[in-house]
Structure 1
Amino acid sequence: MWIVPEKEIAGLMTPEAAFDAVQAVFAAMASGEASNFPVVREAIGHEDALYGFKGGFDRSALNLGLKAGGYWPNNQKRELINHQSTVFLFDADTGRVQAAVGGNLLTALRTAAASAVSIRHLAPEGAKVLGMIGAGHQSAFQMRAAARVGDFERVLGWNPHPEMLSRLADTAAELGLPFEAVELPRLGAEADVIISITSAFEPLLLDGQVKGRTHIAAMGTDTKGKQELDPKLVARSRLFTDEVAQSVSIGEFQHAFTDKSISTDDVTAIGQVIIGQHQGRGDAEVTIFDGTGVGLQDLAVAGAVLELAKQQKKAVEVDI
């Protein structure tokens, strides 16, 4: 069994490699070569934590396994990030455990890669203004990934706790982009691409605030009851996701689905766009990608980083 420690991930997995791995696995899902297993996600009744398992099997890459972990909202008092996880890979031929891979940075990279894939395929032509809703740990990864695939000229940002907006400002400065903190009505009216990355349980971005041709990537924490977008906004948009079943049960589309303003037929797996089986944005004014975070994404980036770690002798082999 191989172990790839969390401390080694930053020197192994690049954002570009994460993008390629995530785009490839979305395509494999759409072509029927890869499938996710049912998600287990529960409040454990301790430290307000959400804990669960996401797994699957990609026959094209022979990636089999799961990610175990979750969200610990009080971790700042321990000087730890809120999201904690480990990816376990298994040999598809024998079922033996193959590797344990640190999942914290990988989760951030694959989540940002998923929104970047959606921007690459669904953003309106000539998009110049990026809107960021949320300024937590993941927001910097999201902005950097978006900037790699989009030709943005400025960034607008909003956060429920304004004192945290310095993270967005610093990241924009790192990217050489002007940044302005604004209220949500202006962000919705001016941004061509909007990334929401919060743990909200009530709508933040309202239907009437979004003007013109816009792409929204809803990337916040997914669980029963989560909500970042107005269901009326969801209902009038062209909808895409990583996994349809997750999006209408624990993802951003669950509320519009529950009130029957949308059905599963209204939601398209983004892999269908990638493999050319769906037109994508087309003539839609607003597109939304609901990134629920599927286990196959984690397996794809973990499989890639395992091979790099073995090549660079940064993986530790142990007998079990």
Structure 2
Amino acid sequence: MLIVPEREIADLMTREAAFEAVENVFAAMAAGDAYNFPVVREAIGHEDALYGFKGGFDRAGLTLGLKAGGYWPNNLEKRQIINHQSTVFLFDPDTGKAKAMVGGNLLTALRTAAASSVSIKHLARQDASVIGMIGAGHQAAFQLRSALEQRDFEKVIGWNFHPEMLPNIEKVAAEAGLPFEAVQLDGMVEAEVIISITSAFSPSLMADHVSPGTHVACMGTDTKGKQEVETALLAKADVFTDEVAQSISIGEAQHAIAEGLITEADVAQLGAVINGTHAGRSSDEQITLFDGTGVGLQDLAVAASVVELAVAKGIAIEVDF
């Protein structure tokens, strides 16, 4: 079995490689060539942690495995380590033998950012010039760096429940040579693209905070009960997702479905837009919303790519397991 430690990931996986892996796996899912297993996601009753498993099988790429991990909200304050902790395990689909163990923390941030960026590439207006960020935690910086590569943005605006964290995304804007402005939530009407990346259980972004023609990427809701945006926004928007089954059960769509504002048939796969079997955006006035629940196949795709790179560079550690 091969081991690729967390410490090696930063030198192996680029934003571009993560984007390509995620875009390809979304397309494979929509084509029926890859599928995700049911998610296990539980509050464990210790340290306020959420822990679970996401897995799947990509027949085309012969990638089989799972990611184990979750969210420990006290880590940063108590232990000075990031709140999201995970490990990816890959298996040989021909034999079932363990193939690789890969550090999943940075990979999770990169693949989550890649997913929202794939949605921006395929759903946002080409002339989008202002991007809005809701959330300024660890993953927000990854989100913004990746998103800025998808359009010629001219300005970044941001809101966070704890405004003292906004310099995290202001720094990314400055690195890109863009002005940054802290706004109240109603100031998001200026944005043509909005990324929400929080761990909230009640909505912050409301329907009247979003202007016609905006693309919204909701990237934080991956558990029953979590919610980042008002259900009325999903009713106004054309909704796309990584995996419909997850979207309606643990994603942002779970609440709009429960209230009867939308149905499962109203949620489309982003992969269908990538494949050209769904038109995607049809007008400049249309609001599009991507419900990024985070699927196991994303993790497997980027992990498999990392293993290949690690082997080629002689970095992978081989153990007799």
- Same fold flag (TM > 0.5): yes
- Determine the structure 2 residue equivalent to 1:85: 86
Give secondary structure in 2 for the equivalent of 1:198.
coil
1:141 aligns with 2:142: yes
Residue of structure 1 equivalent to 2:194: 194
CA distance in structure 2 between the partners assigned to 1:180 and 1:244 by the alignment: 35
Other-structure match for 2:250? 250
Contact 2:134 2:160 in 1 (8 A): yes
Gap regions ≥5 residues in structure 1:
none
AA matched with 1:58: D
On the 8 A contact 2:221/2:228 being kept in 1, the answer is no
Tell me the distance in 2 between the aligned counterparts of 1:35 and 1:209.
Answer: 35
Query: Match of 1:237?
Result: 237
Secondary structure at the counterpart of residue 148 of structure 2: helix
Give 1:87 shift. 0.2
Q: TM-score, normalised by structure 2?
A: 0.98
The structure 1 segments of at least 4 consecutive aligned residues displaced by more than 4 Å after TM superposition are: none
Partner Cα distance (1:148, 1:211) in 2: 22
AA aligned to 2:267 is V
CA deviation map 1:30-82 (0-9, x unaligned): 11100000000001000000000000000110000000000000001101100
Q: SS of the counterpart of 1:149?
A: coil
Aligned equivalents of 1:135 and 1:186: distance in 2?
16
Q: 1:186: Cα distance to partner?
A: 1.1
- Residue 59 (structure 1) aligns with: 59
Matched-pair contact (CA < 8 Å) for 2:221–2:292: no
Give CA deviations for 1:197-236 in whole Å, capped at 9, x if unaligned. 0011111011112122100000014100111111011111
Give 1:125 deviation, angstroms. Answer: 2.5
Query: Helix, strand or coil for the counterpart of 1:248?
Result: helix
Structure 2 counterpart of 1:210, which letter? V
Q: Deviations over 1:253-285 (max 9, x none)?
A: 110000111001000010000000000011362
Indicate the residue corresponding to 1:178 in structure 2: 179
- Distance in 1 separating the partners of 2:209 and 2:109: 28
Of the structure 1 ranges 214-223 and 297-306, higher mean CA displacement relative to structure 2 is found in 214-223
Give the counterpart letter for 1:272 in structure 2. A
Residue 156 of structure 1 and its aligned partner are, at CA, apart by: 0.3
CA distance, structure 1, for counterparts of residue 221 and residue 72 of structure 2: 12
| Amino acid of the structure 1 residue aligned with 2:225 | G
The question of 1:30 aligning with 2:30 is answered yes
Aligned equivalent of 1:218:
218
Q: Please report the RMSD computed on the Cα atoms of aligned residues, expressed in angstroms.
A: 0.7
Amino-acid identity (%): 67
Deviates more, 1:69-78 or 1:219-228: 219-228
Aligned to 1:262: 262
Note the alpha carbon deviations across 1:172-195, whole angstroms, 9 max, x for none.
Answer: 1111111000111111x1000000
Name the CA distance, whole Å, in 2 between partners of 1:136 and 1:150.
Answer: 23
Aligned position for 2:126: 125
Measure the CA separation in 2 of the matches of 1:280 and 1:209. 22
Letter in structure 2 aligned against 1:282: S
Worse-superposed segment, 288-297 or 208-217: 208-217
Structure 2: tracts of 5 or more residues without a match: none
Q: What amino acid is aligned across from residue 272 of structure 2 in structure 1?
A: Q
Take 1:261 and 1:87, find their aligned partners in 2: how far apart are those partners?
A: 36
